């Protein structure tokens, strides 16, 4: 008999990944949870219903659209979980239909009755009184009948174009008999396009009464067809595939190519049909035939179509008692916007946290640069802007005043392509040098460079950001702005910008990292550094905040770090394909998601680095597209004061026990419940109150937060 001293083999668990589409729908389910919160103001709940609809629209256009294309072109291609496109579609469809059913149940059973009780009353054809019917009759003839046009559905040949995400009515008349003696269905489609209000105001005794425009038309439909037998009027909405790539290899003019893509989207394949639960199967079959859709693409709903229109109802004046109190952004206490900002930034860099602090300093800096005779050049990257952008206006004014102004405009910013094309043409007319980014990559970095002639020589002023140059979303999205005149960062910023505009070979940066070149490599090195320290018995710790985590290589190295004993805290608003809390794989990883009044959007990366933390802000999420297929920036923040601020933002989020959900090893998100002796901490509210306090009060508030919520590990 022999014995062996060999150690028994230990088997690591097979790496597990959460499906991307499922994770995206889980995020939207968390948004819908806010609409279900009985303690939230009623119109805030309604707003989250509308946000859920907006999110689903994008999900179907982009993610489901992508899977439809993949199923057609590469049906055997499997994802990281070995699922085919068909299997992913079925899985996502099942989850999406359950989410939509819950969305409508919540609105029908909880929100609509409370709206009625508060005087925001939906009136239907059945509940309208005599006076309201007279009002509707007059409105129909004076307004609707003059602009609406029903068009017959042809048996053969192309018919009218039916717009993506727009409300339509399918009108079914009694069949006529063809020359062959067989019944021939008579179908018409009426698009509700143009200047047609969705909510028709009606006089009520107390409050605000309204009828949906589709109900008004249905009430009067026989006035369009006085001699026909109208069998059915069915509101419906189609969603078209928007996942179309630009063929840049053959595009001599990217502006024209993007215009063609926008046109192509108008006729792309249908990935969803929404229609009422009450519609007949006959109408469903006809719509599927018209739009070449299958049964799985049909979403029947028990309530009004397109909740995104309810944003206007949620914003109705006179109902402030049904909304959250306004949180106004604070002006940064150590910046005087009435004085030149160049001297103030040269004295010391500034870190701003939006929307708790105003975005005005960024706009003011650019406006001052446009008017300052000492400024000789302005360079900026624009990914998304507002409709009446003061940023673009300042660039155009600067160019008209003879400054060298260069703007990199990303024409492929999904769903903002048309606006960016419009701005690009206007800026070119004003004398701005407009460049359309790097061939084959989206330019997603956020960067402003101002070159100024000063007594000591040329000086560069930079704005590095995590969010877009859009003063509107800067009031709704949490983002970080970093204003600096650091010479090394200035040299890097100029080199980065010129690499994009000149299509030149990249050189070595001093301090920044850029995708697709060095962000992934830098992150991997930083994570490996924490792994090596953990192996040597030191503390390894990573904290990061971003929007999505899907990149398999990044997930695998995080699993490796966890297995080595590195503590990892991730604040991920949206998609997360990493599964935390699994013994032997990810037991040291914690993932939270915060859904609250503001959209969490900032990207902040923190590495303990042996007790000398390395802290970065970035435009990039940890997704393959951001790290390998986009032009992105990752900027170090080295000033102790600002590093402490960013660390505080991370810690505050990780101690949220009001609006945070934690992803567990079962793959589901669970709302974090405070312990009995633990005070409540709502991170966004805490950060808002800190921003409103005087500087000494901010420090005191931070100390209070840390005393009440000392860092602790919660097991998944």
Q: Read off the CATH number of the domain in which 242 is found.
A: 3.30.1840.10
What is the rounded radius of gyration, in angstroms, for the C-alpha atoms of the chain? Answer: 28
> Element (H or E) spanning 168, and its range?
strand 167-177
Position 5 in a domain = no
Tokens 């990883």 belong to residue? 589
Q: Is residue 11 part of a domain?
A: no
The predicted-structure confidence for 78-92, as pLDDT tens digits, reads as follows 888 888 989 999 999
| Residue 267 scores a pLDDT above 50 | yes
At 704, the pLDDT band (50, 70, 90 cuts) reads low
Lowest mean pLDDT, pick from 194-203, 361-370, 514-523, 659-668: 194-203
Residues 492 and 527 in one domain: no
**What is the token pair recorded at 346?**
């040269």
Higher pLDDT, 318 or 177: 318
- Which residues are CB-neighbours of 66 under 8 A, at least 6 positions away? 243
611-650 confidence digits (pLDDT tens): 999 999 999 999 999 999 999 999 999 999 999 999 999 9
pLDDT given for residue 419 in this prediction? 74
| Residue 484: exposure state from Cβ atoms within 10 A (0-12, 13-18, ≥19) | buried
Q: Give the torsion sign (CA, 384, 388, 391, 392).
A: positive
Catalytic choice (162, 444, 463, 642): 444
Query: For position 582, what pLDDT does the model report?
Result: 96
Contact status, residue 56 vs residue 96, Cβ threshold 8 Å: yes
Q: Are 483 and 365 in contact (CB under 8 A)?
A: yes
Q: Who wins on pLDDT, 79 or 692?
A: 692
Per-residue pLDDT at 698: 57
- Helix or strand or coil: residue 36? coil
Predicted confidence (pLDDT) per residue in 451-468, tens digit: 999 999 999 999 999 999
CA 575/CA 660 separation, integer angstroms: 15
Same domain for 159 and 286?
yes
Handedness of CA 286, 292, 298, 302 (dihedral sign): negative
At residue 8, the pLDDT reads 47
Measure Cα distances from 107 to 35, 179, 337, 415 in Å: 9, 48, 45, 28
Per the DSSP assignment, residues forming a β-bridge with 17 are 578
Domain boundary, last residue among 477, 510, 543: 510
Tell me if 421 is assigned to some domain: yes
Burial of 232 per CB tally in 10 Å (0-12, 13-18, 19+) = middle
Average pLDDT over residues 321-342: 95
- Residue 399 inside a domain? The answer is yes
Active site residue 353: no
Could you read off the pLDDT of 528-574 as tens digits, one per residue?
999 999 999 999 999 999 999 999 999 999 999 999 999 999 999 99
Same-domain check for residues 354 and 299:
no
Same domain, 447 and 595: no
Rounded Cα distance between 306 and 304, Å, is 7
Is 488 found in the same domain as 594?
no
**What distance in Å separates the CA atoms of residue 451 and residue 461, rounded to the nearest whole number?**
7
Q: How far apart are the first and last CA of the chain?
A: 45
User: Could you report the per-residue pLDDT of 194-216, keeping only the tens digit for each?
Assistant: 778 999 999 888 899 999 999 99
Q: Are 239 and 230 in contact (CB under 8 A)?
A: no
**462 in the same domain as 346:** yes
Write down the residue that tokens 């800190």 correspond to.
Answer: 690
Could you tell me if residue 467 is inside a domain?
Answer: yes
Give how many domains the chain has, as a whole number: 3
Nearest CA-CA partner of 332 in 319, 346, 345, 343:
345
Q: Say if 639 falls within a structural domain.
A: yes
Task: Look at 358 and 254; give whichever has higher pLDDT.
Answer: 358
Burial letters 612-628, b for 16+ CB under 10 A, else e = ebbbbbbbbbbbebbbe
Beta-bridged to residue 458, according to DSSP, are 453
The per-residue b/e assignment along 682-696, b for 16 or more CB within 10 angstroms, e otherwise, is bbbbbbbbbbebeee
What pLDDT does 15 receive? 75
Mean pLDDT of 244-254: 43
State whether 256 and 372 are in the same domain: no
CATH of the domain at 497: 3.30.870.10
Averaged pLDDT score across all residues of the chain: 89
Residue 91: CA atoms inside 13 Å, Cβ hemisphere, count? 18
Residue 360 has pLDDT above 60, yes or no: yes
Average pLDDT, stretch 25-53?
A: 96
Q: Residue 155: in which H helix or E strand, if any?
A: none
The CA-based angle 401-405-407, given to 5 degrees, is: 140
Same domain, 207 and 312: yes
pLDDT in tens, 646-671: 999 999 999 999 999 999 999 999 99
- 208-212 β-sheet, strand order: 120-122, 208-212, 199-202
Among 257, 287, 322, the domain-final residue is: 322
In a domain, 524, yes or no: yes
User: What sign does the CA torsion over 220, 225, 229, 234 have?
Assistant: negative
Residues 564 and 476 in one domain: no
For 269-299, the pLDDT digits (tens) are: 899 999 999 999 999 999 999 999 999 999 9
**Backbone phi, psi, residue 135, to 5°:** -60, -45
CA distance 558 to 562: 6
| Separation of alpha carbons 546 and 541, rounded Å | 17
Which of 51, 550, 491 is CA-nearest to residue 308?
A: 51
Same-domain check for residues 134 and 157: yes
pLDDT at 253: 45
Give the separation between CA 356 and CA 597, rounded to whole angstroms. 12
CB 135 within 8 A of CB 336: no
Give the domain-ending residue among 463, 478, 510: 510
Give domain status of residue 10, yes or no: no
Domain that holds residue 431: 341-510
Report cis status (omega within 30 of 0) of the bond before 355: yes
- Give strand ranges (E) for 523-574: 541-546, 567-572
Do both 290 and 371 map to the same domain?
no
pLDDT in tens, 424-442: 889 999 999 999 877 778 8
Claim to verify: residue 543 and residue 684 sit in the same structural domain: yes
**Residue scoring higher pLDDT (387 or 344):** 344
């Amino acid at each position: 008999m022999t014995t062996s001293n060999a150690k028994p083999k230990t088997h690591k668990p097979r790496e597990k990944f959460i499906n991307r589409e499922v994770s995206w729908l889980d995020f939207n389910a968390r948004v819908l949870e806010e609409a279900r919160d009985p303690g939230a103001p009623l119109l805030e709940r309604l707003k989250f219903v509308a946000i859920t609809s907006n999110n689903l629209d994008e999900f179907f256009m982009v993610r489901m659209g992508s899977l439809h294309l993949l199923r057609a072109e590469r049906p055997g291609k499997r994802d990281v979980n070995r699922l085919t496109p068909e299997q992913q579609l079925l899985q996502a469809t099942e989850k999406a239909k359950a989410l939509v059913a819950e969305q409508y149940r919540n609105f029908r059973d909880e929100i609509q009755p409370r709206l009625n009780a508060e005087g925001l009353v939906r009136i239907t054809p059945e509940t309208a009184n005599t006076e309201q019917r007279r009002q509707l009759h007059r409105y129909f003839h004076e307004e609707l009948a003059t602009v609406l046009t029903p068009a017959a559905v042809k048996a053969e040949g192309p018919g009218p174009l039916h717009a993506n995400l727009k409300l339509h009515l399918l009108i079914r008349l009694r069949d006529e008999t063809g020359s062959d003696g067989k019944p021939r269905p008579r179908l018409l489609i009426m698009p509700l396009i143009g200047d047609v209000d969705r909510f028709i105001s009606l006089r009520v005794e107390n409050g605000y009464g309204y009828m949906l425009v589709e109900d008004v038309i249905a009430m009067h439909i026989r006035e369009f067809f006085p001699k026909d037998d109208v069998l059915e009027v069915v509101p419906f909405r189609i969603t078209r595939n928007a996942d179309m790539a630009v063929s840049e290899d053959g595009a001599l003019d990217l502006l024209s190519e993007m215009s063609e893509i926008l046109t192509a989207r108008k006729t792309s394949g249908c990935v969803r049909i929404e229609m009422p639960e009450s519609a007949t199967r006959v109408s469903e079959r006809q719509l599927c035939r018209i739009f070449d859709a299958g049964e799985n693409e049909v979403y029947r709903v028990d309530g009004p179509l397109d909740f995104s229109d309810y944003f206007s109802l949620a914003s109705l004046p006179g109902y402030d008692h049904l909304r959250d109190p306004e949180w106004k952004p604070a002006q940064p206490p150590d910046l005087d916007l009435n004085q030149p900002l160049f001297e103030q930034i040269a004295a010391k860099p500034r870190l701003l946290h939006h929307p708790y602090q105003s975005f005005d300093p960024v706009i003011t800096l650019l406006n001052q640069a446009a008017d300052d005779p000492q400024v000789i050049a302005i360079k900026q990257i624009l990914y998304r802007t507002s409709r009446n952008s003061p940023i673009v206006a300042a660039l155009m004014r600067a160019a008209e005043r003879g400054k060298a102004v260069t703007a990199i405009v990303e024409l492929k910013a999904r769903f903002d392509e048309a606006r960016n094309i419009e701005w690009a043409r206007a800026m070119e007319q004003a004398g701005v040098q407009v460049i359309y980014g790097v061939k084959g990559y989206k330019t997603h970095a956020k960067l402003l460079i101002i070159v100024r002639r000063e007594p000591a020589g040329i000086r560069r002023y930079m704005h590095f950001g995590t969010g877009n140059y859009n003063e509107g979303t800067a009031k709704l999205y949490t983002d970080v702005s970093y204003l600096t005149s650091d010479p090394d960062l200035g040299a890097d910023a100029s080199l980065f910008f010129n690499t994009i505009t000149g299509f030149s070979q990249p050189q070595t940066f001093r301090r920044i990292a850029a995708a697709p070149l060095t962000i992934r490599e830098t992150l991997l090195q930083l994570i490996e550094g924490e792994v090596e320290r953990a192996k040597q018995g030191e503390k390894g710790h990573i904290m990061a905040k971003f929007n999505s985590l899907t990149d398999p290589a990044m997930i695998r190295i995080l699993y490796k770090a966890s297995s080595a004993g590195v503590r990892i805290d991730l604040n991920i608003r949206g998609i997360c394909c990493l599964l935390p809390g699994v013994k032997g794989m990810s037991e040291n990883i914690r993932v939270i998601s915060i859904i609250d009044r503001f959209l969490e959007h900032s990207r902040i990366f923190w590495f303990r680095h042996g007790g000398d933390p390395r802290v970065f802000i970035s435009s990039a999420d940890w997704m393959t597209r951001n790290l390998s297929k986009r032009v992105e920036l990752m900027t170090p923040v080295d000033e102790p004061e600002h590093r402490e601020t960013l660390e505080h933002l991370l810690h505050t989020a990780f101690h949220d026990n009001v609006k945070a959900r934690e992803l567990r090893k079962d793959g589901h998100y669970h709302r974090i419940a405070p312990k009995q002796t633990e005070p409540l901490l709502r991170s966004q509210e805490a950060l808002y109150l800190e921003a409103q306090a005087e500087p000494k009060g901010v420090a005191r508030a931070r100390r209070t937060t840390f005393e009440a919520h000392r860092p602790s590990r919660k097991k998944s």
